[in-house]
Structure 1
Amino acid sequence: MTAQVKYADVEVGTEIPAQTYQIDRANLVMYAGASGDFNPIHWRESFAKAVGLPDVIAHGMYTMAQAGRFVTDWAGDPGAVVDYGVRFSAPVVVPDEGGATLQVSGKIEEKLDDNKVVVALTARAADQKVLTRAKAVVRLA
């Protein structure tokens, strides 16, 4: 585990360096097993294309989980997130060859009482914003 970020060490406007997460179809199959979401748009290319998608797409909740992982990795404490929400604005298309890349970054938007901060998140794949209104309330050390 990384060192915990301290409340006193961040200010409004502090940027959290971007992290990149590689996503391939094996990740989607593993997530399907863990979540119980076996919708074929997440693993069968022919089905995804038949319903009008460009290719297989990542589960929205998988994408959201990667952004949550970004926050907990930064905070240095998997239990630091006390509130978290996003809106899904575009799918993450995961081609069979090469997969997809998800880039997540953040910025401290507000400092609250009780060592909590609001982190505004940006998540992009294929030069498109895939999450909007993505915010986490994080209790720091």
Structure 2
Amino acid sequence: MTLRSAAGVAVGDELGPTTHALTRADLVRYAGASGDFNPIHWDERTAEAVGLPGVIAHGMLTMALAGSLLTAWAGSPDAVADFSVRFVKPVVVPWGEQGAELVVSGRVAELLPEGRVRVELQAVSSGVRVLAGARAVLQLAP
């Protein structure tokens, strides 16, 4: 990967959108990788018993997928200097091969000194915004 140059980047430049399909199999794989085996991420009855609308994706998986847009656009994972989100709605993952769709997009909100840019992100699933205050600072090449 080649790190994107800050030259030519402007406020308002768009990132994405990227679309991610999430299935229950993805949640099981993520549980194995993360060690988070909470049954709300794989068992319908448990999820509904605690007041959720169904099985939900791991919040950190949702954040990671949003972050993948940043690293792809910047050209390197180490370009991400700061990244934060607030989880406002879960990504509900229904049973079946189709699963859930997560659409992530962003835009350059501010040019900062020394080749840094502030990016604001949007993440939507089933027409519902699932992340708020999602923003990052990226260090681009001079």
- TM-score in same-fold range (> 0.5): yes
Matches within 5 A, 1:15-34: 15-34=14-33
Aligned match of 1:8: 7
Shift of 1:51: 1.6
Cα displacement string for residues 83-136 of structure 1 (whole angstroms, at most 9, x for unaligned residues): 000000100000012210000000000111121100000000000000000001
User: How many Å separate the matches in 2 of 1:61 and 1:16?
Assistant: 20
CA drift of 1:17 comes to: 2.5
SS of corresponding position for 1:47: helix
Letter in 1 for 2:41: H
5+ residue gaps in structure 1?
Answer: none
Name the % identity: 55
* Structure 2: gaps spanning 5 or more residues: none
Larger mean Cα displacement after TM superposition, 6-15 or 119-128: 6-15
Instruction: State the partner residue of 1:101.
Output: 101
Q: How far did residue 65 of structure 1 move?
A: 0.6
Q: Give the 3-state SS of the residue equivalent to 1:66 in structure 2.
A: helix
Residue 69 of structure 1: how far off its partner (Å):
0.8
Q: Please say if residues 86 and 132 of structure 2, whose CA atoms lie closer than 8 Å, have aligned partners that are also in contact.
A: yes
TM-score of the pair, normalised by structure 1:
0.95
Identify the residue that residue 63 of structure 1 maps to in structure 2. 62
- 1:119 corresponds to: 119
Could you give the per-residue CA deviations for residues 42-66 of structure 1, whole angstroms, max 9, x where no partner exists?
0111211222211100011110010
Alpha carbons 2:3, 2:79 under 8 Å: kept: no
Could you say which residue in structure 1 is the equivalent of 2:75? 76
Which runs of structure 2 are paired with 1:84-99 in the superposition (5 Å)? 84-97=83-96, 98-99=98-99
- 1:36 is aligned to 35
Letter in 2 for 1:8: A
TM-aligned CA deviation for residue 4 of structure 1:
3.1
Q: TM (normalized to structure 2)?
A: 0.94
Provide the residue aligned with 2:131 in structure 1.
131
3-state SS, counterpart of residue 51 of structure 2: coil
Aligned residues: 140
Partners of 1:129 and 1:114 in 2: CA distance: 32
Q: Which runs of 4+ in 1 moved over 4 A?
A: none
Give the Cα–Cα distance (whole angstroms) in 1 for the partners of residues 45 and 119 of structure 2.
38
